[in-house]
Amino acid sequence: MTYKNSKQRELILEYMQGINAHVSAEEIYENINKEEKKISLATVYRNLGILEDLQKVKKIALPQERYVYDKTCNPHYHFYCEKCKTLYDLDEPYKLELDKTISDNEVIGKIDGHDIIFKGVCRNCK
């Protein structure tokens, strides 16, 4: 699908590229509005959906039933600290061969990729 450029989408993308964290739509909304730039929460959600379609951001489901967005769209793994609730990018090679191994299972027709979130306690919280 083709989308027209929008100032709001550029504002969200600029914000995402300027941070080094995984953030929720609500956090994006709050932080952009702190900068004296006005944008509604509905506009943030709508544009995050478009940015996800354009593969500019990736939506990640966290264990406590909320979503955060990641500016890194290439396949990679994550670690979720169950104590401080922080999601970390892991600098580990993405294992494409895992898709092949799992796809050999008789119930699976086609695998398009995989997302793995390791859970535990980070070094800062230990």
For the chain, the structural domain boundaries read 7-70, 77-120
pTM: 0.79
Q: How is domain 7-70 classified at the architecture level of CATH? A: Orthogonal Bundle (1.10)
Mind giving me the DSSP string for 53-119?
Answer: HTTSSEEEEETTTEEEEES--S--EEEEETTT--EEEE-----HHHHHHHHTSTT---------EEE
* The predicted structure's pLDDT at residue 16: 95
Domains 7-70 and 77-120 fall in the same CATH topology: no
Identify residue 70 by its one-letter amino acid code: D
The residue with greater pLDDT, 115 or 27, is 27
Q: Does 82 have pLDDT greater than 90?
A: yes
- pLDDT, mean over the chain: 92
CATH 3.30.1490, domain 77-120, yes or no: yes
